[in-house]
Chain A
Amino acid sequence: MLANVVLSTLVVCIPSTFLAVLIGVPAGYFLKIKRFKYRKMIVRIVYTLSGLPPVLAGLLVYILLSRKGPFGFLDILFTKWAMIITQVILIVPIVMLYTLSGLKNIDRVLENLDYLSVKGRKRYTAIVREYSKEIIYAIVLGLSRAISEVGGVLIVGGNIEGSTRILTTAIIFEITKGEFSNALMLGLVLLAISFTFNTILQILQGDVFD
């Protein structure tokens, strides 16, 4: 029972963070170094979306994925996929925003790479290596958002036992039933998971850089 909820939490939050980092870091990098029309406007939008209320994201994804919506044919409303999509929408702007501010001195790094005439794939590997600490921090931010979010995933997931019930929605459900001690227990489990993740990521950061 609890194991299932914990597993569902991981199965939803980790892929959504992974996807969000996969999208958000390159997008943020692109936005940082390229100069084009409406760039400032887009940056402003990213800033705004980084504070997107989860319930609004949930509502939008719900409307899109409902059988009557444009993506209804996918038949994934009230599944983990819908929850992952909602979380990706929520996390991508945060990761982009962090990438924008995290890529300090990128111009100098790029200049050096030009000077050494590092090109193609090697160039990107070098950049990733240079900023791996920032990337790990972006993962931490994304994961924290994913794991603590409840409004959005409750709407699109439906809190189905054994399927879309994750720790946060289970907590809400226990409160609904007045089972406050169960809710508290689940909250502590959630905190422990978060702590574990952050420990792993911090060790990685430390091992690599200190």
Chain B
Amino acid sequence: MKTQRYLKNVVAFFVLICVFGVSIFSGTASVKYKIATTTSIYDSGFLDFVTPAFEKKNNVKFNFISVGSGQAVKIFKNGDADGIIIHEKSFLNELKKEKLINGYTAFVSNYFILVGPKDKKDLFKKVKSVQEAFALIRKNNFKFVSRADNSATYIRELGIWKLAKVQPDFGGYIKSGQGMGMSLNLANEKKAFILTDEATFYKMKDKLESLDVIYQNPKEQVLTNIYYFAYSPKKAELSKFASYLKSKEFKNLVSSFNQKFFKKEIYRIVK
């Protein structure tokens, strides 16, 4: 008899937790939107910093699913997300052609930079363009971490190899297959070069003790990194968020984010 009572208690405990759990699922009243986003702008903490003000005012909640741009597009295409934030225009044009989005909003930009081991910085002093830097890495067979994950950063990296007119098939070329943060960790451990966006790099800089900026140039077209927001026409209410991204309030949040985490202008408003 004693046994039975104990078992009953165990079952009661589990049922209680289940009921408790279910009540949590249905707890919030606000409308939820799933937004597939590229890792770089999410991992930097940017989205979590600028969206709560909007969420509060409009009684909505954004659920960000942070994956590489390629996967974000797949998730959006399958209809598993209501909106998308990525930094690869060609993907968006594709979505537009398939009538999955009506248009897109460019809202912030930063720059791609080449980072690499501190002790090799001097070798790149006279380099005049990013493709020249890439060619130098290839020539010396230096270690280079590539995300190789169909992300926007990877697509840009391939574009630069093409400009440099070399194939990224040398011995030092490491394919990480992971997001920006993880790939930076890898580059740091391996003392390798890597193409990254400014925001992710500066946010993690104090953990990346062997890396430093090797080459940057805001004037090079191939190094501009613009983030876009787009949404499914079925979720027309999200146009509000698109206009919010162009508002004064948003601009102020961007500058306070820059101040708080970087002490300089990293994310720039796109006109």
Taking Cβ atoms with an 8 Å cutoff, the residues of A that contact B are 7, 10-12, 14-15, 17-18, 66-68, 72, 77-81, 125, 128-129, 132, 135-136, 139, 158-161, 163, 175-180, 204, 207-208
Contacts and interface: CB of A to CB of B under 8 A. Distances in A.
A125 to B, nearest CB: 7
A7 B20 CA distance: 10
B80 A161 contact: no
A158 B63 contact: yes
A11 B27 CA distance: 13
Nearest to A126: B4
Interface of B: 2-4, 6-7, 10, 14-15, 17-18, 20-21, 24-25, 34, 39, 43, 48, 63-67, 78-80, 178-179, 181-182, 184-185, 203-204, 207-208
Contact of A163 (B21, B63, B185): B63
25 contacts: A11-B17, A11-B21, A14-B14, A14-B17, A14-B18, A14-B21, A17-B14, A66-B80, A67-B78, A67-B80, A77-B80, A78-B34, A78-B65, A132-B3, A135-B7, A139-B10, A158-B34, A158-B67, A159-B66, A160-B64, A176-B39, A176-B179, A176-B182, A179-B207, A180-B207
Contacts of B204: 177-178
A208 B3 contact: yes
Contacts, number: 90
Contacts of A11: 17, 20-21, 24
Nearest to A79: B25
Q: Is the interface of B mostly helix, strand, loop or mixed?
A: helix
A204 B63 contact: no
A122 B21 CA distance: 32
Nearest to B77: A68
A132 B14 CA distance: 16
B214 to A, nearest CB: 19
Contacts of B179: 176
Q: Which of B21, B34, B79, B204 has the most CB of A within 10 A?
A: B21
A68 B34 contact: no
Nearest to A177: B181
A88 B70 CA distance: 29
Nearest to B62: A160
Contacts of A207: 6
A105 B101 CA distance: 64
B138 to A, nearest CB: 27
Given A80-B25, A175-B182, A204 B65 contact: no
A143 B184 CA distance: 34
